[in-house]
Copies of this chain bind each other. A is one copy, B any other.
Amino acid sequence: MITKQLLDPKSIVVVGGSDDVQKPGGKVLKNLIDNNFKGDLYVVNPKLDNVQGIKSFRDVAELPQVDLAILAIAAKFCPQTVEVLAKQKSTKAFIILSAGFHEESEEGAKLEQQIVDTINQTGGCLIGPNCIGMMNTNYAGVFTTPVPKFDPKGVDFVSGSGATAVFIMESGMPKGLTFNSVYSVGNSAQMGVEEILEYLDESFDPKTSSRVKLLYVESVNQPQKLLKHASSLIRKGCKIAAVKAGSSSAGSRAASSHTGALASSDVAVDALFRKAGIVRCSGRDELTTVASIFMHPELQGKNIAVITHAGGPAVMLTDSLSNNGLEVPAIDGPKAKELLTKLFPGSSVANPIDFLATGTAEQLGFIIDACEKDFDHIDAMAVIFGSPGLFPVYDVYDLLDQKMRECRKPIFPILPSIINVKDEIDHFIAKGRINFPDEVTFGNALSKIYYTQKPAPEKPVLPKVDEAKIRKVIDNAENGYLQPEQVQDLLDAAGIHRAGEAIVTTQTDAIESAKKLGFPVVMKVVGPVHKSDVGGASLNVKDEKTVASEFDRMIKIK
């Protein structure tokens, strides 16, 4: 139900605009002016003809036709104002900042309904009431700061809480996160998180639309709608991360007191997000870190090259990645040896690739090129480069920016020296880049994203079931028990995917089968019911030698 007047208004009126920039009506006007809204701007203020240099009308009835109205007046005056604007001024978009509606009283709820009815009758749309407003690349219709950097490829961010939206932007901006649109839905009288998502889905254009969406919600009111549009967006190539706060029972009580959220079962929310393919985050820093990763090319595999000029953070990042299921695989061979010759003595290319505190921009270039072109098993690079404060590192960060433009594999910049080389990091971010200041926060987030599954296809493809074969397996069962081979036949006949299996009776067969299935394998003795009680199960068997020795041991189990 979003209108083009909300997204790209040719004219905006701030009803209740004033010269007091410590009040919402004054501040939202200041934001519109300061952030260069290019259309016509008006104010309605019963006492003034000019507010902050903008023409002010004493009465809303005196206004010319206007696309978008931002209301910062007492709740009781809103319905009448909306009526005039919607019916006489062709206003098709409203942002109501004022509180005092259904969140406060029954009377307020009635006012809110009256407004929604009027706007629905005239085909308009409404953000709020009781919100901080919205902003996009065309205008900053919020009464809060900061106004982040806008960018058509930046994040589309929808928040159920205004102050939280502010704090989330304050967490993302120092990292370099940019935005395409920010919606604070407030009471969601006409449009809530789900409606905005629906719009983002239905208006998605693979050529021009941003691909990163962030949500902060305390309740999921329309789970089916959320699922439909979130998964649809992800199938179109978007990435979505969300905080659904209120995951604990105490938190759920808190959320219900905050935004009137009905307690939703957290298990259900988890299942919903998983089905939709949404990366669920628990806090602001995690959310903006995940969003920052989303702004990079997608990870195509789990092998990460950790490139560093300082050992410690590389070790911590390696721990974080490997402990969460990603890999920092060894790098060796002739190409690795060749790379080593281009670095200072004492460097290591084994992965982490450590080119020492004295390492240069040129050497970083050699390393990145080798990871991009020579080390085929590497899927992405994490480059850690800070500074002990001796000299500037502009050249390194410029090289990094250049390589990020050239390389196909994702490169993640971890620049820890937010004090020593603040200027260089700002310069890097000004080029549209993002910094991950903490390597472990980054590593945890990267793993979480990698292990969030894509949504199920819209129409699930059911496996082909071979009923005749199933019948045959069942008919051949003795006493109602199935042998292991029969269980496998049964699963195959039902089209159910399974880990490969082999029943063997000789060491040679055991080794051959293990090689065929691929390491690591699990080995189990056939026969005893409580296998582990008798040592008849062995997990994570990684090589032929162990298969051989485990076979010899198990074959003796009675």
Question: Known contacts A258-B311, A259-B311, A315-B254: does B171 contact A438 (CB below 8 Å)?
Answer: yes
- A282 and B357 contacting across the interface, CB-CB below 8 Å: no
Interface string of A74-117 (1 = CB under 8 A from B): 00000000000000000000000000000110000000000000
**Residues 116-174 of A at the B interface (beta carbon under 8 Å):** 132, 143-146, 161-164, 166-167, 170-171, 173-174
Q: Is A524 an interface residue (CB 8 A)?
A: no
Query: Do A22 and B285 touch (CB < 8 A)?
Result: no
Q: Determine if B386 and A166 form an interchain contact, defined as CB atoms under 8 angstroms apart.
A: yes
| Distance in Å: Cβ of A184 to nearest Cβ of chain B | 11
Question: Is the CB–CB distance between A255 and B390 below 8 Å?
Answer: no
Report B-chain residues with C-beta under 8 Å of the C-beta of A166: 386, 388-389, 417, 420
Q: Smallest Cβ distance from A169 to chain B, in angstroms? A: 8
B167→A416 contact, CB < 8 A: yes
26 examples of A-B residue contacts, CB within 8 angstroms? A23-B390, A132-B388, A143-B390, A144-B388, A144-B389, A145-B420, A161-B312, A163-B310, A164-B310, A166-B389, A167-B417, A170-B418, A250-B318, A250-B319, A254-B314, A254-B328, A257-B348, A257-B352, A257-B354, A258-B311, A283-B439, A283-B440, A284-B313, A284-B439, A285-B440, A286-B440
Q: Verify if A518 is at the interface (C-beta below 8 Å from B).
A: no
Q: Cα distance A327–B253 when bound, in Å?
A: 13
**Interface flag for A382 (CB, 8 Å):** no
- How far, in Å, is A65 (CB) from chain B's closest CB? 31
Closest CB of chain B to A247's CB: distance in Å?
A: 5
Count residues of chain A with CB under 8 A from any CB of chain B. Answer: 84
Nearest first, the 8 closest Cβ-Cβ pairs linking A and B are A283-B440, A258-B311, A164-B312, A145-B389, A163-B310, A248-B322, A251-B319, A144-B388
Copies of this chain, how many? Answer: 2
Partner of A163, one of B247, B312, B316, B419: B312
Quote the shortest CB–CB distance from A462 to chain B (angstroms).
33
Write out the residue numbers on chain B whose beta carbons fall within 8 Å of the beta carbon of A323: 247-248, 251
Interfacial chain B residues near A329, Cβ < 8 Å: 250
**A352 x B388 contact (CB < 8 A):** no
Q: A174 and B316: CB pair below 8 A?
A: no
Give A414's nearest chain B residue, CB to CB: B167
**Contact assessment for B315 and A258 in the assembled complex, using a CB-CB cutoff below 8 Å:** yes
Residues of B close to A541: CB separation below 8 A: none
A160 shortest CB reach to chain B, Å: 8
Instruction: Tell me whether A243 is interfacial, beta carbon within 8 Å.
Output: yes
A533 to B: closest C-beta gap in Å: 14
The complex places the Cα of A253 from the Cα of B164 at a distance, in Å, of 42
